[in-house]
Amino acid sequence: MSYRALIALHRGLERHAPGDAGFGRAILAALPPLPARPRVADLGCGSGAGALLLAEHFAAPVTAVDLSRELLDELERRARESGVAHLVRAVQADFGALGWPPASLDLLWSEGAAYHLTFAGALRAWRPLLAPGGVAVVSELSWLTDRPPEAARRFWRAAYPSMGSTAENVARATAAGFVVHLVRTLPAAAWLDGYYGPLERRMAALAGTDDPALRRVLRDTADEIALYRAHGDAYGYVFYVLRVP
């Protein structure tokens, strides 16, 4: 898909992947112990749903990283409106090549973005950034069954060939040097109501576009939504809460 067209599709949306603030708060409540003012980063932050949640929860600075300046501008606007602008630092960068010092984070958060590096690749790149006892919370598209329907398997084999099952991703996390603290699957409502509903309204507003790249993104996204409605019990976003020994 065209990155530019994807940004145009998601402009103005609260989320750029399935998610839910209440679910996020439950994950935060179940984290292992962290310092009173942890060093926190949200990698692949988009327009800031996760970063704002983290700033509110910890009342501590959050470094929010994304490649899109346009999405970071939205994040900064939302942070001002939420009264946490003093806690959120927006950084335009490639989260696969940050060059930050080792052990510079206590909490690394990433929702719906690790696939850009693959799950295993993201964990390898990000593990050195965490201090001893640090925690990574990474959501990853995962198979929830050993026998997914052929339509779902065919779609995701083309879109995301390295997509694994929950058990395979747990093994990948262990191989990357993490201890798996918690595994939780995002509920279907976070897809249908929290993400796809607003996304479909945005798609309807763009339906008359004459941009070929955007038209293709709209078609592909419509196919993805139809697939989830038919086979969403076979796959989903799973949150992996991973601790550094």
Q: For residues 97 and 110, what is the distance between their CA atoms, to the nearest angstrom?
A: 15
Nearest-CA neighbor of 126 among 193, 73, 65, 68? 65
CATH class of 14-147+160-187+233-243: alpha beta
> How confident is the model at residue 54, as a pLDDT?
98
Cα distances (Å, whole numbers) of residue 221 to 46, 155, 204, 217, 235: 18, 12, 12, 6, 16
> What is the three-class DSSP state of 118?
coil
Parallel/antiparallel/unpaired status of strands 40-43 and 130-143: unpaired
> How confident is the model at residue 2, as a pLDDT?
73
Q: Do 42 and 54 form a contact (C-beta atoms < 8 A)?
A: yes
Residue 38 carries which side chain, given as an amino acid letter?
P
Q: Where are the domains of the chain?
A: 14-147+160-187+233-243
- pLDDT by residue, tens only, the chain of 245 residues: 578 888 889 988 889 899 999 999 999 999 999 999 999 999 999 999 999 999 999 999 999 999 999 999 999 999 999 999 999 999 999 999 999 999 999 999 999 999 999 999 999 999 999 999 999 999 999 999 999 999 999 999 999 999 999 999 999 999 999 999 999 999 999 999 999 999 999 999 999 999 999 999 999 999 999 999 999 999 999 999 999 99
